[in-house]
């Protein structure tokens, strides 16, 4: 398990709970609006690979914080690229932590196995764009089949989950939000994250953010299909 960084204390990653956030290097996407290029681009990852945190050190830290932390969040870049993610989650669960996984949905087999073995308690999946247009936002050509399968796995599961879209002016619009929300009809949670222009992977990415009024319009559109819609600024 490659661990590039750990945030030892967070009150915002899982609202209402005290969590630690574990970051993994590498991602199969190249989203121009990504704010974490250091975990994505090979030329930047070279430096991170030199300073990886040993898994044993992370587990020792977590063991000492068992009575303070309740959730462990695994994210950035794409955790399902880690070959021993399932084993790591198993070790974390043995300490009685609750586990949250952030993923773009690239590996439905891993997500399904984690759910089936009760090794994950919450999954947050990004939906970058409307169905059949993922590549426009992902920055690479992808087969959407696995991602759609992951969506179905979550919709059919009994665990808590959320879908989320970083909404970007001149990329997303009413039609796209309606299309995404219809595809995830009856989803428990759908979060709209307003884009902020800073430290983007593509330095020429200059698209804008939406106003509160525009975001609320998206929210009302999505609420026609999804159980709960939140706006994150």
- The segment with the largest mean pLDDT, out of 45-59, 115-129, 194-208, is 115-129
CA-based nearest residue to 37, from 193, 164, 198, 170: 198
Residue % of the chain over a pLDDT of 70: 100
Q: Which residues pair with 100 in a beta bridge?
A: 73, 122
Q: Is the pLDDT of residue 68 over 90?
A: yes
The torsion angles phi and psi of 166, rounded to 5 degrees, stand at -80, 110
CA-based nearest residue to 103, from 126, 135, 82: 126
Residue 230: predicted pLDDT: 97
Residue 30: predicted pLDDT: 95
**Tokens, residue 115:** 């759910």
Residue 166: predicted pLDDT: 96
- Which H helix or E strand runs over 161? strand 160-167
Q: Under a CB-based contact definition with an 8 Å cutoff, are residues 146 and 105 in contact?
A: yes
The torsion angles phi and psi of 70, rounded to 5 degrees, stand at -115, -35
Mean pLDDT, residues 104-133: 97
Residue 149: predicted pLDDT: 98
Whether the predicted model's global pTM rises above the 0.85 cut:
yes
Residue 76: predicted pLDDT: 84
Name the DSSP class of 204.
T
Residue 62 is part of which domain span?
A: 5-232
Mean pLDDT, residues 111-117: 98
Helix ranges restricted to H, the chain: 42-49, 55-64, 85-93, 108-116, 134-138, 145-156, 174-183, 212-222
CATH of residue 29: 3.20.20.70
| Tens-digit pLDDT profile for residues 2-58 | 999 999 999 888 778 999 999 999 999 999 999 888 888 888 888 889 999 999 999
How many domains, in total, are found in the chain?
Answer: 1
Residue 39, burial from CB neighbour count under 10 angstroms (0-12, 13-18, 19+)? buried
- Calculate the CA 233 to chain-centre distance: 16
Residue 226: predicted pLDDT: 98
Residue 204: predicted pLDDT: 86
């Amino acid at each position: 398990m490659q661990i590039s960084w750990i945030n030892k204390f967070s009150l915002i990653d899982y609202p209402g709970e005290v969590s630690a956030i574990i970051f993994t290097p590498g991602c199969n996407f190249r989203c121009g609006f990504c704010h974490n290029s250091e975990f994505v681009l090979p030329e930047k990852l070279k430096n991170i690979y030199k300073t990886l945190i040993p898994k044993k050190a992370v587990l020792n830290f977590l063991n000492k914080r068992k009575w303070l932390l309740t959730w462990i969040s695994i994210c950035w870049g794409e955790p399902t690229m880690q070959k021993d993610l399932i084993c790591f989650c198993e070790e974390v669960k043995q300490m009685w932590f609750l586990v949250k996984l952030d993923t773009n949905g690239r590996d439905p087999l891993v997500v399904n196995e984690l759910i089936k073995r009760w090794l994950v308690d919450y999954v947050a999946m990004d939906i970058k764009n409307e169905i059949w247009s993922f590549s426009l936002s992902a920055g690479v050509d992808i087969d959407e089949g696995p991602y759609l399968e992951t969506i179905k796995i979550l919709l059919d599961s009994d665990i808590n989950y959320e879908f989320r879209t970083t909404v970007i002016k001149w990329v997303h619009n009413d039609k796209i939000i309606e299309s995404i929300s219809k595809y995830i009809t009856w989803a428990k949670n759908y979060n709209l994250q307003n884009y902020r222009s800073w430290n983007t992977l593509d330095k020429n990415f200059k698209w804008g953010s939406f106003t509160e009024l525009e975001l609320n319009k998206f929210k009302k559109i999505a609420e026609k299909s999804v159980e709960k819609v939140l706006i994150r600024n």
